[in-house]
Structure 1
Amino acid sequence: MAHSLPKLHNAMWPGLVGKEEGTENPPISLDRMLELTAQANVNGTRFDGIDYFLFLPHTDPDASDDELRQIADKIASHGFAVGSLVAPVWPGTVGDSAMGDEESRKKFLTAVEKACRIARIFNEHGVRKYGVIRIDSAEFGVEKWREDAQANTKKIAATFREAAKIAEDNGERLAAEGEICWAGMHSWRDMLNLLEEVGMPQSLGFQADLAHTYLYLMGYNAPEHALLKEGDSEEAFWDAYKKMTDALRPWTIDFHVAQNDGTVHGTGSHDKTGKHCPADDPNGKLDIVKCAGYWLEGAADRGIEHICWDGCMFPNSMLETESTWNTILGKMIEVRDAHGWDS
């Protein structure tokens, strides 16, 4: 059955994350990512909008109001809305580790403030009417976190609470990205512990990605929290998937459709992360449509109005291929037809 919601978005950051100048996979400009997204067409259905990483070379987090309005005009000229925004919280952008020293945590909060400012300008422009601001702990890897896991989780939570208050004051919600590379967020159990420690569900929730959360099941960076092991039956998989999604779904306010082949992948500074695969990858471990349903149950009640495809770290040759985007869009339509709703 065709539904009008959730709206279907494509992420712009696959043109940036893991890309390096002077390699076979240099950054892809915002203009080109918009063009590639706009070209996708499945029986007359197109992407409704984009989700957007607020950092160079796509966007200067300190761009003037007029420069940001020009970007909004550019996005709108393709008929796109802007949905969720990614705050530039990483070291090397504006921010720094949420479990770092006072100066690092101050930088993290500054990144959230800058994201809220850009969100306000996009909202006032009219190009953005829904979506959240995505954050993570900005602490790559879990080794330092493990030195004092309980204290470090409390430190991240304290930073997140301050960030959530900033978002509240700006009429925004934050979504913490569940991914195995982020300290304190690297397993389903640790992610849940962190969300509960923050304790501000009205302002800070969870951003679920099908590719990343698959590796939560396997306990890649937290074997003690594994729900599944290689060779387990299909029945065991769905039992494990239900346990994980039942725990995290009530917190889920942002959702990425993706595929994973069960391996870990990374390039550049963004290493050891869940591998995103093409929607039709023959090695894909996920029934995308069925898995999406576990996360999207009750999504409208949690304020979700769009879903986004994440093809982070696809090689440029794949991103530049028209059929890649038509296949992705077709799978997104299947997800909406199976689990969507109407306004």
Structure 2
Amino acid sequence: MSTTNNFPKLHNATWPGIVGKGPDSEPVIPFDDLLAYTAAAEVNGIKFDGVDIGLLDPHVDINGGRDEANRLADKVAAHNLKIGSLVAPIWAGSAMGSKESRTVFVDMVRKACQFAQRLNELGIRPYGVIRIDSSCTPSDWAADPAGNTKIIAETFREACDVAADYGERLAAEGEICWGGMHSWKTMIDTLEAVDRPNIGFQADMSHTFLYLLGYNRPEDRILPENFQWDDREALTEGLRELTRALRPWTIDFHVAQNDGTVFGSGSHDKTGRHCLPNDPNGKLDIAKDAGHWLRDEQGRLTKAFNHICWDGCMFSNAVLNQQQTWNDILAALISVREAHGWQA
């Protein structure tokens, strides 16, 4: 296997140890365990470069200030890893909620930016963004699409202004379970309404893939209702249309696999079903299809971000507690970098 390319850097995510876990599901996987699995993964001498982190209890105390950021940096550095993008825990509020709820939303962004600032000062975080969503449902949004998009945009705009004070960019997650972000068209409408230079889009090969099928917004589907999965030409053309629209906004990227269905567990509602990279039901050619996001219409590398991250939520603990799982995930990331990476 060629190892010429050293960019984009390869990151694992820590939030799969939390999302879909909890009292009504399986136990949360400890942060230290996820770091250990990440650091131990190796494929032909190549290892993960870092982790993207959800600033979520019980892994991280968002109210812990500098001491908590220092603790986090020390843990990650001890495994010879870097930190990239951070997930702001905005769900105690809502971008479409009451004035008080929206204030909480923006305050969580502020705290995430403060964490980021300290990690940057410590030299552990050389790249990355702050990830957000609208923290509201598509059905609630649908009660007043124009009015609710305006409210979400106002909240995002305020959050962007806060982030700008820390030199941070915000990435709105392309996932079908968030109101105003649940289709590719509503996502673009929301981003355009925000009208700030430091907001962009976080593409996920699994979540964003569902935009093609129009879940939660059938009128915006790209693939026909009678689409057959063995029609690779139509799927490729659908991905081209989708990425043509969203690529200019994309500032953060998740490598993932999807089987074309939705799934939810724990407190996380229906969303794109993540599959392991070698799942026989996976609909994506990971290395090839990542290129729709990482290259422009002429096939040139965009180099729009310095790292890519694997996202695989809602797998069972039995799967996540196997080292081979992480080796296979690393291999998928390597295949993307070999196909669409660069040397720097």
TM-score (norm 1): 0.95
User: Which of the numbers 165, 168, 182 marks the counterpart of 1:169?
Assistant: 165
- Please point out which of 222, 230, 234 is paired with 2:217: 222
Taking the aligned partners of 2:32 and 2:328, their CA distance within structure 1 comes to: 21
What are the Cα deviations for residues 21-69 of structure 1, in whole angstroms up to 9, with x where unaligned?
A: 374x210111011011111110110100000001210110011312321
Shift of 1:342: 1.8
Q: Name 2:7's counterpart in structure 1.
A: 5
Which of the numbers 151, 173, 177 marks the counterpart of 1:155?
151
Q: Which amino acid aligns with 1:184?
A: G
> d(CA) in 1 for partners of 2:283 and 2:179?
25
SS of aligned partner of 1:211? coil
1:22 and 1:272 mapped to 2: Cα distance? 16
User: What does residue 274 of structure 2 align with?
Assistant: 276
Distance 1:303 1:143 in 2: 33
1:118 Cα deviation (Å)?
0.4
Structure 1: how far apart are the matches of 2:23 and 2:100? 30
**2: distance between equivalents of 1:220 and 1:67?**
39
| Range 171-180 or range 300-309, more displaced | 300-309
Tell me what 1:124 maps to.
121
1:257 equivalent in alignment to 2:255: yes
Identify unmatched segments of 5+ residues in structure 1: none
Between the aligned residues of both structures, percent identity stands at 56
What code does the residue aligned with 1:20 have? G
How many Å apart are 1:231 and its aligned residue?
Answer: 1.6
Distance 1:306 1:300, change over 3 A: farther
C-alpha contact 2:180 2:187 (8 A) present in aligned 1: yes
Q: Distance in 2 between matches of 1:45 and 1:256?
A: 19
Q: Deviations over 1:143-162 (max 9, x none)?
A: 11111001101110111111
Which residue is equivalent to 1:98? Answer: 95
Correspondence for 1:61: 62
- Give the conservation status (yes or no) of the 8 Å contact 2:55–2:112: yes
Shift of 1:301: 5.2
Residues 83 and 124 in structure 2, CA contact (< 8 A), matched pair in contact too: yes
**2:22 equivalent in structure 1:** 20
Cα 1:267–1:7 shift into 2, 3 Å: same
User: Is the 1:178–1:207 Cα contact (8 Å) retained in structure 2?
Assistant: yes
Q: Specify the code of the residue in structure 1 equivalent to 2:115.
A: I
1:247 to 245, 249, 254: 245
- Which stretch of the first structure deviates more once superposed, 191-200 or 290-299? 290-299
1:211 to 206, 212, 231: 206
Q: After TM superposition, give the deviation of residue 302 of structure 1 in Å.
A: 6.0
Give the equivalent residue in structure 1 for 2:36: 35
**SS in structure 1 at match of 2:206:** helix
Give the aligned residue type for 1:252.
T
TM-score of the superposed pair, with normalisation by structure 2: 0.95
Report the secondary structure of 1:60's partner residue: coil
Output the aligned Cα RMSD.
1.4
Structure 1: 4+ residue segments shifted above 2 A: 298-303
- The aligned residue for residue 137 of structure 1 is 134
Could you tell me how far apart the structure 2 residues matched to 1:166 and 1:302 are?
26
Please give the secondary structure, in 2, of the residue aligned with 1:155.
helix
Q: Secondary structure at the match of 1:273?
A: strand
Q: Distance in 2 between matches of 1:318 and 1:277?
A: 11
Deviations along 1:75-111, one digit per CA (max 9) or x if unpaired, are: 01101000000001013xxxx1101111111010000
Written as runs of structure 1 = structure 2, the 5 A alignment for 1:64-83 is 64-83=65-84
Deviation track 1:95-133 (CA, whole Å, cap 9, x = no partner) reads x11011111110100000000000011111111110000
SS of equivalent residue, structure 2 residue 91: coil
Any conservation in 2 of the 1:18–1:313 contact (CA below 8 Å)? yes
CA distance change for structure 1 residues 173 and 268 in 2, over 3 Å: closer, same or farther?
Answer: same
Moved more, 99-108 or 223-232: 223-232
Give distance in 1, aligned partners of 2:250 and 2:13.
18
> Structure 2: which 5+ residue stretches go unaligned?
none
Distance 1:244 1:234 in 2: 15
1:341 aligns with 2:338: no
C-alpha displacement at 1:198, in angstroms? 1.1
Please tell me whether the aligned partners of residues 65 and 115 of structure 2 are also in contact (alpha carbons under 8 angstroms): no
Deviations 1:229-250 (A, max 9, x none): 3326222111111111000000
Inter-CA distance 213–67: structure 2 relative to 1 (3 Å threshold): closer
- Structure 2: distance between partners of 1:52 and 1:193: 28
Question: d(CA) in 2 for partners of 1:266 and 1:242?
Answer: 28
